[in-house]
């Protein structure tokens, strides 16, 4: 997987809060993709997404106004976009071969 794709995936998994002073990575995907095949990284991200969804469901049942729901929705979306980006890159690599 190329550096451009890895950077694009990492951008989805990097959150900048406030005025840009606080930056954190949901996951360091570059490290994962160097050590594991893309399918394993996708499986990990899907598991993470599932855990976020379960936590979000619990929060919604207990308190629909909880601010943490917003954070979980955003993280869930970002992880989904990262998964889609990896899948699309794998598809393009297969089609190019």
Residues 23-72 have pLDDT tens digits of 889 999 999 999 999 999 999 999 999 999 999 999 999 999 999 999 99
Domain definitions of the chain by residue range = 3-96
Residue 22: the pLDDT is 82
Residue 26: the pLDDT is 94
pTM: 0.90
Q: What is the mean predicted confidence (pLDDT) over 72-94?
A: 96
Residue 29: the pLDDT is 94
Short-list 37, 27, 46, CA closest to 1: 37
Short-list 82, 81, 55, 83, CA closest to 69: 55
């Amino acid at each position: 997987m190329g550096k451009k794709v890895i950077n694009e995936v990492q951008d989805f998994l990097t959150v900048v809060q406030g005025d840009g002073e606080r930056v954190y990575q949901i996951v360091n995907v570059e490290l994962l993709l160097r050590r594991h095949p893309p399918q394993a990284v996708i499986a990990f991200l899907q598991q993470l997404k599932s855990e976020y969804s379960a936590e979000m469901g619990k929060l919604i049942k207990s308190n629909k106004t909880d601010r943490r729901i917003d954070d979980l929705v955003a993280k869930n979306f970002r992880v989904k976009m990262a998964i889609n980006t990896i899948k699309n890159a794998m598809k393009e690599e297969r089609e190019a071969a």
